[in-house]
Amino acid sequence: MFVWDALQDLTLIILMICAVVSIGVGLATEGWPKGMYDGAGILLSIILVVLVTAISDYRQSLQFRDLDREKKKISVQVTRDGRRQQVSIYDLVVGDVVHLGIGDQVPADGLFISGYSMQIDESSLSGETDLVDIYEQKPFLLSGTKVRDGSAKMLVTAVGMRTEWGKLMETLNEGGEDETPLQVKLNGVATIIGKIGLTFAVLTFLVLTVRFLIEKALHNEFTKWSSTDALTLLDYFAIAVTIIVVAVPEGLPLAVTLSLAFAMKQLMDERALVRHLSACETMGSASCICTDKTGTLTTNHMVVNKIWICEKISNIGDNENKNIDELEIHESVFSIFLRSIFLNSSAEVVKDENGKNSILGTPTETALLEFGLLLSADHDAYRRRFKILKVEPFNSDRKKMSVLVALPEGRIQAFCKGAPEIVLRMCEKVVDSSGEVVLLSEERVRDITEAINGFASDALRTLCVAVKDVGETFNENGIPDSGYTLIAVFGIKDPVRPGVKEAVQTCLAAGITVRMVTGDNINTAKAIAKECGILTAEENAIEGPEFSSKSPDEMKDIIPNIQVMARSKPSDKLNFVTNLRNMFGEVVAVTGDGTNDAPALRQSDIGLAMGIAGTEVAKENADVIVMDDNFATIVNVAKWGRAVYINIQKFVQFQLTDLPLSQLYNCFGLI
């Protein structure tokens, strides 16, 4: 199959025709075996090109199969044998209880057991873009669909090819790889060269033939023809065929295939999984990288570094057991403080087979739970004692998570945590230094804002937690969004990855602009960007909402200077990438790991998803999956992309300037 596909190349078809004609002319003019040499040489080169191309394509298909298998190494969290654990989606069995969160792909068909605000994107199966609500009365979850909001537990009812997704896949035929843009262009070049060669060949043959006829006419020999005259005309025809043969770059398809295949192999060794072949060459042309912060520029292992509580700032330092006195938390506040950490969280503390505690959840929530456990608190006891009535999960639009909790004495409390500018706006009171609840005056707001900005300036991610007594009635319609009491402000540290600053400098030296696009506080984003060498001036940072409010003319003025975009929503990131491409003709590479990054990943020239922290939605919309989530790996993708172009450039330069010109010179010398 691969040999047949290799033979379909237009360049090789032209060469095969030339070889057959050359053998026919050679045998007629020079006899056996000398007349076979030129044609046989062409045929041997065709066989070589076809064999190498077919073998390369076959090995590449095996590599794609391995890469695809690597890509499908997806783990899910399940409850099995009475405990929560991580298993491969291929090890799921009917009866498992799967834990689903925002960004996950549903790994099997199943039934909704319990959960909150569950919304599913079924467009991959139904083609409908509207999100589907899942709840007790509408409990069916289908394999291959994606979780866009909420969280849930699902009972697996069908796996593998027995699922609706599996039945759909059985009806599809697997399509082959499309030609890359570079291959299309080079085939076009080969066609043009072939046409030019054919034109010159025809002109050469006509000129030589006309001159021969004129000479015969001048010598009054026009009516006298011999075998010598026929051999002379055959020689002229052989010269024309030679021009065509040397003009067509027969090694061009082979050079392209080998360069791309080699680049892909090297990238796999360097922890970059290429999903689309064209990504190798597209990344070589990238003039701008819009990178996420968390997990790409930073390690994505967060720890609580500072905390503001009871109007005091405490440095946590290294992870070690803390007590109330050290943190200066008033006793009356301590219990509420721990409730706000343990109950308002989608993360869980689980025990492995050896009885050791581990935390499953997002990095930010993991940091908070780790901090709560450092205070020698019992997470399981809090979970058993208090009943969670309703949950509004965190997402990039709300920028907060809220829960309603029933207390043992019958009262109901609402807890909220999220971005400081969101939560602080919902608060009317605050806990003061004596542990008393007091009104949140303008002066106190200024002090809290100053503390938040101080945390952000130290490159800490800031998070506020608040509480509200709802009373004894449970409102089914929603969780309150005002009247809260501010408990604490956390400063969470996410260290910059080693080697990121050097990688950024390499990009800048190569003419690739690096821009950070993040949902974090602008002060935190600025601090990290400066540490990485991305931000060079304060005015080159902007917040997403401010950017999106600009007119097209204003955007045209500010976009070239933007180095950091903070507090960006998915629509802001998409808007930024679209304008970079359309207004300025930039070749944009975008990195992302969350569901909210998917639109920008799809819109970009090349999308790079994170292999470790990335959601399945992000990976599915990306061209390259960065297996180690490291920005330095992205730089390696750009290097190998440029290497492909350099290799092709060298080959074309040699092919088009050396061989054809010298041969054409010899041919015209004969004339």
Helix, coil or strand: residue 61? helix
Backbone conformation region of residue 585, classed left if phi is above 0, alpha if psi is from -120 to 50, else beta: left
Return the closest-CA partner of residue 69 out of 92, 89, 55.
89
Q: Where are the beta strands (DSSP E) in 506-623?
A: 513-517, 541-543, 564-566, 588-592, 606-610
Per-residue HEC secondary structure of 70-111 comes to HHCCCEEEEEECCEEEEEEHHHCCCCCEEEECCCCECCCEEE
Q: What is the CA radius of gyration of the chain?
A: 34
Evaluate whether 637 touches 314 at the Cβ level (below 8 Å).
no
Q: Please name the residue ranges forming H helices in 248-314.
A: 252-269, 278-284
* Residue type at position 178: D
Size of the chain in residues: 671
Question: Looking at the annotation, which residues are catalytic?
Answer: 292
Evaluate whether 272 touches 637 at the Cβ level (below 8 Å).
yes
72 burial type by CB count under 10 A (0-12 exposed, 13-18 middle, 19+ buried): exposed
Evaluate whether 302 touches 492 at the Cβ level (below 8 Å).
yes
Structure-token pair, residue 667: 């041919």
* Residue type at position 553: D
Q: Please name the residue ranges forming H helices in 145-277.
A: 164-170, 181-218, 227-247, 252-269
Residue that is written with structure tokens 């990054």 in the block: 597
Q: H or E element: which one contains 152? A: strand 146-158
State the DSSP code for 174.
P
**Cα–Cα distance between 613 and 471 in angstroms, integer?**
39
**Cα–Cα distance between 247 and 224 in angstroms, integer?**
36
